[in-house]
């Protein structure tokens, strides 16, 4: 055990401040990072890795983007937090809303968890109904209503997925399979008048990348409309990742509320909920739905978010990301590996370690991927590539990832997945 991990395990539960950072399903132990620069991340011992995790999505411009860092430094000189209104939060609100022309208002919070928790409360208040519907394999942060899984009795009745979540709260959630409109129809037929909202990642990216059919999302929209429920798109990952705004227009479906996080904070803590004024103005102080935050709209997060969105508001950025991601996709695919498929949407890539067709539902993911991924992760780490430490996590590319290192990455990945030759080190 490294000295840092040893000390961390004594001071922090499991040595990590978020369980996804633990190496629970891969070999070895968490690497302690000291510095990030462009597409690279450096460990405490000086080892350099090509980062394919990118802090789980926020760093679309790469580590330490000079414009973002400068914006934060400049802002920090004027004070770290005011707990009062400031000009840049208005500018960021406008910049976010520019990506969602149908929405009127956005409220900023400090994490994706807070954003989805607030969206659920808003939906319950707007409809005066208790039930929230989510999907197996979707992750919406760690608030009680969403830490649920399908129960074994009643098909859709949820049970707590974590100790400490009272069954009374879990009992107000329902869990369905993705890509299964029939079950959604049956649920609405049985309980439609109690359903406040359907919450879905329009591009589910927390259980692998489970790309949904447009017809399924359109079907959910129809069911919500027919029964007076809200449709909430959780775009904490997909917001501003694939285009300036959300994926709704690409999928031809408009939600009632959108939750954001990650990219809009440019690498600092941030989340947001947006929608039409009719729903959003239910929030305090205008309406009766309470929501607050000491550090909401924090000047530093806002400065980082603004600097990031400013850069993204240039269509060429997404073309460039698409080209880079396609390069990796094609290069890995060209190797025709039996047990490694690339599932991709824009700059989100999932290396699916199975010969099976890419799944659309969590229950269809090949259960063997974890045992296959562990040696692959270990070998890639040894070769200088930092992949998220789970077979179920996706990789993120940034504008800082260059063609050369991506081709080298694809080559190494192929070598490792077909372990007959020794992999070469990253960037050498």
Ligand X SMILES: Cc1ncc(COP(=O)(O)O)c(C=O)c1O
- The residue annotated as part of the active site, out of 139, 318, 352, 385, is 139
Q: In the complex, which residue's CB is closest to ligand X?
A: 112
Min separation Cβ 423 and ligand X, Å? 29
Q: Binding segment for ligand X among 77-85, 137-145, 307-315, 387-395 (CB under 6 A)?
A: 137-145
Residue 32's contacts (CB-CB under 8 Å, 6 or more residues apart) are 2, 4, 5, 8, 43, 44
Q: Which helix (H) or strand (E) is 329 found in, with range?
A: helix 316-333
Decide whether 234 or 408 has the Cβ nearer to ligand X.
Answer: 234
How far, in Å, CA of 290 to CA of 336, rounded?
54
119/379 with CB nearer ligand X: 119
With respect to ligand X, which residue has the nearer C-beta, 301 or 412? 301
How many binding residues for ligand X (CB under 6 A)?
A: 15
Instruction: Tell me whether residue 273 or residue 410 sits nearer to ligand X (CB atom).
Output: 273
Minimum distance from CB of 114 to ligand X (Å)?
Answer: 7
262 is catalytic: yes
CA distances from 386 to 32, 56, 221, 370 (A): 12, 12, 38, 17
Distance CA 343, CA 352 (A): 7
- 321: helix, strand or coil: helix
C-beta of 200: minimal distance to ligand X in Å? 10
Residues in the chain: 428
Shortest Å, Cβ 280 to ligand X: 19
Nearer to ligand X, 194 or 250 (CB): 250
Compare residues 140 and 344 and give the one whose CB is closer to ligand X.
140
* Contact assessment for residue 132 and residue 174, using Cβ atoms and an 8 Å cutoff: yes
Catalytic residue among 51, 179, 234, 256: 234
Question: Hey, which residues between 20 and 59 contact ligand X (CB under 6 A)?
Answer: 56
Q: According to CB under 6 A, which one of 53, 237, 365, 417 is a site residue for ligand X?
A: 237
Per-residue contact string for residues 105-124; x = within reach of ligand X by CB under 6 A = ------xxx--x--------
Smallest distance, ligand X to C-beta of residue 209, A: 12
User: 298 vs 412, which CB is nearer to ligand X?
Assistant: 298
Helices (H), 158-213: 167-170, 181-191
CB of 243 to ligand X, least distance (A): 17
Q: Which residues of 240-271 are buried (b: 16+ CB within 10 A; e: fewer)?
A: bbbbbbbbbebbebebbbbbbbbbbbbbbbbb
Report the candidate in 178, 216, 233, 205 with the shortest Cα–Cα distance to residue 346: 205
Task: Say whether 10 is catalytic.
Answer: no
Residues 294 to 353 in contact with ligand X, rule: CB under 6 A:
none
Residues from 240 through 269 that contact ligand X (CB under 6 A)? 261
From candidates 93, 236, 283, 306, binder to ligand X by CB under 6 A: 236
**Nearest residue (CB) to ligand X, 3 versus 18:** 18
Please identify which residue in 139, 233, 352, 396 interacts with ligand X, judged by CB under 6 A.
Answer: 139
Q: How far is the CB of 173 from ligand X (least distance, A)?
A: 15
In terms of Cα–Cα distance, which of 305, 267, 262 is closest to 95? 305
Contacting ligand X within 140-199 (CB under 6 A): 140-141
Which of 89, 144, 177, 234 forms a contact with ligand X (CB under 6 A)?
234
Distance CA 323, CA 31 (A): 30
Query: Half-sphere exposure of 211 toward its Cβ, with a 13 Å CA cutoff?
Result: 13
Give the DSSP H/E element, type plus range, for residue 386. Answer: strand 385-386
Please list every residue from 195 through 214 that binds ligand X, using CB under 6 A: 201, 206
3-state SS class at 109: strand
Q: Which of 49, 262, 318, 386 is catalytic?
A: 262
CA distance 397 to 52: 6
Contact range with ligand X by CB under 6 A, out of 171-179, 234-242, 372-380, 398-406 = 234-242
CB neighbours (10 Å) of residue 196?
Answer: 24
> How many C-beta atoms lie closer than 10 Å to residue 375's C-beta?
14
Task: Give the dihedral of Cα atoms 163, 167, 172, 177; nearest 10 deg.
Answer: 60
From residue 416, give the alpha-carbon distance in Å to each of 23, 41, 217, 390, 399.
19, 21, 37, 16, 25
Q: Is 422 a catalytic residue?
A: no
Residue 292 CB, shortest distance to ligand X, in Å, is 17
Which positions are annotated as active-site residues? Answer: 139, 234, 262
Interface residues toward ligand X, by CB under 6 A: 56, 111-113, 116, 139-141, 201, 206, 234, 236-237, 261, 271
């Amino acid at each position: 055990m490294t000295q840092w991990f040893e000390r961390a395990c004594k001071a922090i539960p499991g040595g990590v401040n978020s369980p996804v950072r633990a190496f629970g399903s891969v070999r070895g132990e968490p690497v302690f990072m000291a510095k990030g620069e462009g597409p690279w991340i450096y460990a405490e011992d000086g080892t350099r890795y090509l980062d394919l995790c990118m802090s789980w999505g926020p760093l679309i411009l790469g580590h330490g983007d000079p414009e973002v860092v400068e914006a934060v430094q400049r802002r920090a000189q004027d004070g770290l937090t005011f707990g009062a209104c400031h000009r840049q939060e208005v500018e960021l609100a406008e910049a976010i809303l520019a990506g969602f022309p149908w929405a009127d208002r956005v409220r900023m919070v400090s994490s994706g968890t807070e954003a989805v928790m607030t969206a659920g409360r808003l939906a319950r208040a707007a409809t005066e109904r208790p039930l929230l519907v989510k999907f197996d394999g979707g992750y919406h942060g760690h608030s009680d209503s969403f830490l649920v899984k399908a129960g074994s009795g009643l098909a859709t009745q949820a049970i707590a997925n974590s100790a400490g979540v009272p069954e009374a709260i879990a009992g107000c959630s329902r869990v369905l399979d993705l890509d299964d409109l029939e079950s959604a129809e049956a649920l609405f037929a049985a309980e439609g008048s109690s359903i406040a909202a359907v919450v879905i990642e329009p591009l589910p990216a927390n259980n692998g990348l489970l790309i949904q059919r447009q017809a399924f999302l359109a079907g959910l929209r129809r069911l919500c409309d027919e029964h007076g429920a809200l449709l909430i798109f959780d775009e904490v990952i997909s917001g501003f990742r694939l285009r300036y705004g959300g994926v709704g227009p690409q999928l031809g479906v408009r939600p009632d509320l959108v939750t954001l996080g990650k990219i809009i904070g440019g690498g600092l803590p941030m989340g947001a909920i947006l929608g039409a004024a009719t729903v959003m103005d239910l929030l305090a102080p205008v309406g009766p739905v309470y929501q607050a935050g000491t550090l909401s709209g924090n000047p530093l997060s806002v400065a980082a978010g603004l600097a990031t969105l400013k850069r993204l508001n240039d269509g060429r950025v997404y073309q460039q990301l698409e080209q880079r991601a396609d390069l990796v996709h094609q290069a890995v695919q060209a190797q025709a590996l039996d047990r490694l498929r690339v599932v991709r949407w824009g700059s989100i890539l999932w290396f699916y370690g199975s010969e099976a067709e890419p799944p659309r539902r969590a229950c269809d993911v090949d259960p063997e991927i974890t045992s296959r991924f562990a040696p692959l992760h270990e070998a890639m780490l040894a070769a200088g590539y930092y992949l998220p430490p789970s077979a179920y996590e996706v990789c993120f590319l940034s504008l800082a990832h260059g063609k050369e290192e991506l081709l080298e990455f694809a080559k190494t990945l192929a070598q490792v997945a077909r372990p007959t030759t020794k992999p070469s080190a990253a960037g050498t």
